[in-house]
């Protein structure tokens, strides 16, 4: 799921550098796919749905207020020939004030450091921190010099699947990956839940392994 239909890949673990100065061994590298990891965490999907619902509710709230302003303006246009200058000024001021209020509300809801941003921080940041800490612990315990993020803006022209540690991170956090042995850490066969099961592959429904007869 993409947050607010635009909140894609909310976390970016660009580079986690764990340099060891006391070892003579060659430095080790690996990568994770943070977007894949997030999509396999049920709490993240719940958070995204909450953000989507809030966004839709607040957007409708703003649209309703603009609709009221539009009606006031059309009524003013239709009646202005019958109004005195003082009445025109009063009606114009009313419309202007309502326009300012709705623009302020729009900024409050969707602006930088607005309500949606704060709610995102409240719901998603703890999950991001948990992933970061899991990556950091893996890098430290297994002596990785650098852990790259395949889903970040960092250009990775080629990645060897055997160095993808995305599923290892999920398992260390207590989640069962949707696909236990993915080739690129980005293919999913179902929804992952802690202790969940993976749906059978096509053609594997028969416990004897036989293909259904046509």
Query: What digits encode the pLDDT tens for the residues 13-60?
Result: 333 334 333 343 567 889 999 999 999 999 999 999 999 999 999 999
Q: How far is CA 213 from CA 8, 19, 76, in A?
A: 43, 58, 74
100 token code pair: 């300012």
Q: Model's pTM, two decimal places?
A: 0.64
Domain boundaries, the chain: 50-110
State the chain's maximal CA–CA distance in angstroms. 90
CB count in 10 Å sphere of residue 116: 19
Q: Which residues of 131-142 are buried (b: 16+ CB within 10 A; e: fewer)?
A: beebbeebbeee
Query: What digits encode the pLDDT tens for the residues 110-164?
Result: 999 999 999 999 999 999 999 999 999 999 999 889 999 988 877 777 788 888 9
**For the residues of 71-104, what is the DSSP string, one character each?**
HHHHHHHHHGGGS-HHHHHHHHHHHHHHHHHHHH
């Amino acid at each position: 799921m993409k947050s607010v239909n635009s909140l894609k890949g909310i976390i970016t673990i660009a580079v986690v550098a764990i340099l060891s100065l006391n070892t003579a061994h060659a430095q080790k590298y690996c990568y994770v796919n943070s977007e894949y990891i997030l999509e396999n965490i049920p709490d993240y999907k719940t958070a995204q749905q909450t953000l989507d619902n809030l966004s839709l509710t607040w957007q409708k709230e703003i649209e309703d207020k603009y609709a009221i302003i539009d009606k006031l303006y059309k009524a003013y246009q239709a009646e202005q020939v019958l109004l005195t200058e003082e009445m025109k000024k009063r009606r114009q001021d009313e419309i202007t004030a309502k326009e300012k209020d709705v623009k302020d509300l729009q900024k409050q809801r969707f602006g930088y450091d607005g309500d949606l941003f704060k709610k995102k921080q409240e719901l998603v940041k703890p999950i991001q921190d948990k992933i970061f800490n899991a990556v950091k612990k893996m890098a430290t315990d297994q002596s990785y010099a650098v852990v790259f993020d395949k889903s970040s803006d960092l250009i990775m022209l080629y990645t060897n699947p055997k160095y993808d540690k995305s599923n290892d991170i999920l398992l260390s956090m207590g989640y069962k990956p949707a696909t236990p042995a993915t080739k690129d850490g980005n293919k999913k066969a179902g929804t992952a839940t802690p202790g969940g099961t993976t749906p059978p592959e096509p053609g594997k429904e028969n416990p004897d392994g036989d293909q259904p007869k046509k």
